[in-house]
Amino acid sequence: MRGRAWLLIGLITCAAALIACRGTSPDARTPFVPPRTAAGHPDLQGIWQVRNAAHWDLQDHTGALNVPAGFGVVVDPKDGTIPYRPEARARKQANLAAREQSDPMQKCYLAGVPRTMYLPHPIQIFQTGAEVVFLSEYVHTWRWVPLTPLERYPGYESWMGDPRGRWDGDTLVVETVGFNGQTWLDHAGNYHSDALKVVERLTRTGPEVITYEATIDDPKVFTRPWTIRMPLYRHVDRTQLLEYECYLYAEDAGRPIIGSHPEVNE
């Protein structure tokens, strides 16, 4: 009799949990309890991808040729506008006007951070107790995020930055510096300098959703730090990345990308 009562309570709890999940947006910080890895961390592993147009423009924008329309993902400032310094805003506008040539991704360059996380290509996350690894299908690149203290190489500059990670409750926090200032944040010419610091926060907010947030701080370009937020959705129908070898496909198509490096164009 007592066993049945417990079973009934269990069933009611499960049903309530199901209703709660279904009735709420997965992006709304529901009290989802994430599964854990053997190391006891929330399990972020799997293949993930955004379903938005952030890669083309982080702000509200109408569609254009080869540019899908999209809502902005800037959540701070509240008006969704990137807080450029006046002279930097002029450069952003120039970038936008010349994006077909000037977007570094048009040359198949590494996408940088945070752009790698919201490309129209999947990423895969792996974890051990000591590290988190982000793999990108786009030009086969990895981000290795140590969770243990590790002294940075001084003066390091790179396309993908030098990340360090930690768990803040059930949220993975990744702080990345060491950028070369040559990547863009999107195809709309939003850019940064080598003073860029990105703080990303990844939280499992549903069975198939990670809420991804990135705060972008670059005093040379922006008047204050600003934040983007978007869901990463799990690819439930695939277990491995394939490859997207952008510059090699250009070669195959008879359009090798040579002589177009940033220092040449300066």
Where does this chain bind another protein (CB under 8 A)? 37-38, 45, 108-110, 124, 126-128, 131, 133, 135, 139-142, 144, 146, 150-151, 153, 155-160, 180, 182, 239-243, 245, 247-248, 251, 256-259, 261, 263
**How far is 222 from 237, CA to CA, in rounded Å?**
40
Q: What does each C-alpha distance from 95 to 88, 185, 188 come to in angstroms?
A: 10, 11, 7
Tell me how far, at minimum, the Cβ of 197 lies from another protein, in Å. 17
Considering the complex, state which of residue 72 and residue 112 has its C-beta at the smaller distance from another protein.
112
**How far is 56 from 240, CA to CA, in rounded Å?**
25
Considering the complex, state which of residue 85 and residue 107 has its C-beta at the smaller distance from another protein.
107
Is there a contact between 217 and 225 (Cβ–Cβ < 8 Å)? yes
Considering the complex, state which of residue 178 and residue 189 has its C-beta at the smaller distance from another protein.
178
- Closest Cα partner for 88 from 265, 262, 218, 228? 218
Considering the complex, state which of residue 111 and residue 188 has its C-beta at the smaller distance from another protein.
111
Burial zone of 80 (CB within 10 Å; 0-12 exposed, 13-18 middle, 19+ buried): middle
Tell me how far, at minimum, the Cβ of 206 lies from another protein, in Å. 22
Tell me how far, at minimum, the Cβ of 254 lies from another protein, in Å. 13
Tell me how far, at minimum, the Cβ of 97 lies from another protein, in Å. 23
